[in-house]
A and B are shown apart, each in its own frame.
Chain A
Amino acid sequence: MESNTAVSCRNVVKVYDTGGQKVTALNDIDLEIRMGELMMLVGPSGCGKTTLISVIAGILDQDEGSCEVFGKNLLTLRNHEKLDFRAKNIGFVFQAYNLLPSLTAAENVSVPLIINGMKRVEAERKASQLLEQVGLGERTASLPSQLSGGQQQRVAIARALVHDPRLIVCDEPTSALDHETGHTVMELLKDVALHKDRVLVIVTHDARIFNFADRIAAMDDGHILKVVNSAAQL
């Protein structure tokens, strides 16, 4: 494996079994994601995008094939090793932000640090610094309910970044936002979050943000149709 490969999926199959009805969400997926790139997963609803980033992020086990993230085969890790791997290496950004509603912005951002064992005061100090970087220096003490959608998503991005993970997975980070706000969020991800030792995998429907991608993997029906370098090639 070349040293600049961050994620390597081989023949990944995932079948959901809901009461006898089997749905093949991932059907023989091969995918390489390189260090330092912003990879987008695109495709129609139900094609398996969310399932794939769940496998890559180590929160869902595939049924067949292997998925190596930074050289580690997640399937072979023991439970606590996997938790530890996620805590240190993965940042999450969700469509619905998923901030803890009774925690302030700074407290929300500090959660990954606390999970990694940092003291609260130190963690919140670091979180506040990062909030400043994403333009929310004034809102560190606000509750999520007191923030706009775009602001909440920026808090969520700060939370995904704060522990300096090597992989950030985002599921539809802009779908709940208007075009302009979505654009700001993408700029933030591209400019602040992305650097040469980090990978961003972003699932999206939103064609208006395709041009932020370094590469785009087009999916359909559990397959990767093609991986292209720009939206024009789709």
Chain B
Amino acid sequence: MYHIALKMLMGDRGKYLGIVMGLTFASLIMTQQPAIFLGLMTRTFSFISDVGLPDIWVMDSKVQFVDDIKPLQDTELYRVRGISGVEWAMPMYKGMLKARLADGTFQTCIVIGLDDATLIGGPPVMLQGKLEDLRRSDAVIVDIDGAKDKLAKPSATPGGKTKPLQIGDDLELNDRRAIVVGMSKVSRTFQAQPVVYTTYSRAKNYAPRERKLLSFVLVKAKKGQDLAQLTKRIRETTGLAAYTSSEFKDLTYRYFMKNTGIPINFGISVTLGFIVGAAIAGQTFYNFTLENLRQFGVLKAMGTSNWVLLKMILLQAILVGSIGYGLGVGLTALFGYSMRNTILAFRFPWQLLIFSGAGISLICVFAAIISILKVIRLEPAVVFKG
């Protein structure tokens, strides 16, 4: 009977394609939109991932997310270093400073100041030059995307193409000279400004004079230390906030979830995809059953039980569901692959497969149920009706 069910389904090519396309569309929306969403949400904390090395981040207790800088006094660094279980603790400056470009215009940059001795917290990838070059006087490292775009030098001929900022070029940060000694590649964040790395002490010189300039204290725990206990100890000793890297990512991620329209926007498009997909696929599948009602009636008259008819319809639903799901997920993967080198955010963890799979299953079960109800209520005597 299953063979018959499949033949019934695929016998009507047009309807069959219609159902599959509806489900493909729903599955595409339900996979691709969350993938973009997850990609964007990963960006919120990609700076923390980039820094990588430290186990624990110490900061002002009122900090809500990674870009929310509330500076500390330098003395906090020494207090953290004094806590037992701390292998090392390094200062980090993170702030927005105005750079004056060669053509006299200004561009706000994200300036990261690294511990002068160890340079811990530097960019994840150096494309040109070495991180150690930061030890030269006035040295800075800029990120390649910024160098090519926002920090690019004007063309020699008016109206011509701009030239990327290069090693040896200089900038002015708050009226102080900065010489580019390297190019780095950093992960994209929500902040679109160029990223400029320098040493902590130089960053303090570039920054406007303030009493407090220490953004974070980066801590490495001693081997075998329980991180939960160490963060607790740091909190209690200093009165500051201390998070493990993953806790800090979580904090940042939650902040964006709660305080931006991003989740709602994506939630809406996923829901719409679900509803439209359910409507198209459910409707065409139900119509398909309605049009085949006489065939189901004939099978019923000839002695096929409701139970077998139910299984036949379920099989039809599962088949179109699987194909639609496969195509939708495949198209999403293709989309992600073709967008891999663009600024588009995209992240496709396996959990997403389960999410959209569940969505498609729901649509198919819904479509099958309304069809099955119709067939179960069908009187076999209809077969003699004209």
Is A100 touching B298 in the complex (CB atoms < 8 A)? yes
A57–B301 Cα distance when bound, in Å, is 9
Residue B294 at the chain A interface, CB threshold 8 Å: yes
At the interface, yes or no: A80 with Cβ under 8 Å from chain B?
Answer: yes
Whether A102 and B7, one on each chain, are in contact in the complex, defined by CB atoms closer than 8 angstroms, is yes
| Binary contact readout B289-312 vs A (1 if CB under 8 angstroms, 0 otherwise) | 000001100111111110000000
B1 touches A114 (CB 8 A): yes
Residue contact B294 to A114, C-beta cutoff 8 Å: no
Are A87 and B299 in contact, CB atoms less than 8 angstroms apart? no
CB of A86 within 8 A of CB of B301, answer yes
A102 to B8, Cβ gap below 8 A? yes
Choice from B4, B305, B383 contacting A111 with Cβ under 8 Å: B4
Chain A 54-87 against B: per-residue CB contact (8 Å), 1 yes, 0 no? 1001011000000000000000000010011111
Cβ of A107 within 8 Å of any chain B Cβ, yes or no, is yes
Whether A59 contacts B7 in the complex (CB less than 8 A), given A95-B386, A98-B294, comes out as no
Q: Contacts A83-B304, A100-B8, A103-B4: A115 and B386 contacting too (C-beta < 8 A)? A: no
Indicate whether B117 reaches chain A with its CB closer than 8 angstroms. no
A111 to B312, CA, bound (A): 14
- With both beta carbons as reference points, the residue of chain B lying nearest to A102 in the complex is identified as B11
Task: Decide: A50 and B302 in contact? CB cutoff 8 A.
Answer: no
26 contacts between A and B (CB under 8 A): A50-B384, A50-B385, A53-B384, A54-B381, A54-B384, A59-B381, A83-B303, A83-B305, A86-B301, A87-B304, A88-B303, A94-B298, A98-B294, A98-B298, A100-B7, A100-B11, A100-B295, A101-B11, A101-B295, A102-B8, A102-B10, A111-B4, A112-B303, A114-B1, A115-B1, A115-B299
Centre residue among B4, B10, B295, B302 by max chain A CB count within 10 A: B302
**Bound complex: CA A111 to CA B302 (Å):** 9
- B303 & A171 in contact (Cβ 8 Å cutoff): no
Given contacts A100-B7, A111-B302, A171-B384, 9 further A-B contacts (CB under 8 A): A50-B385, A59-B301, A80-B305, A94-B298, A101-B11, A102-B10, A102-B11, A103-B11, A116-B303
Q: Is A120 part of the contact surface with B, judged by Cβ < 8 Å?
A: yes
- Structural contact, A60 and B381, CB atoms closer than 8 A: yes
Is B379 located at the chain interface by the 8 A CB criterion? yes
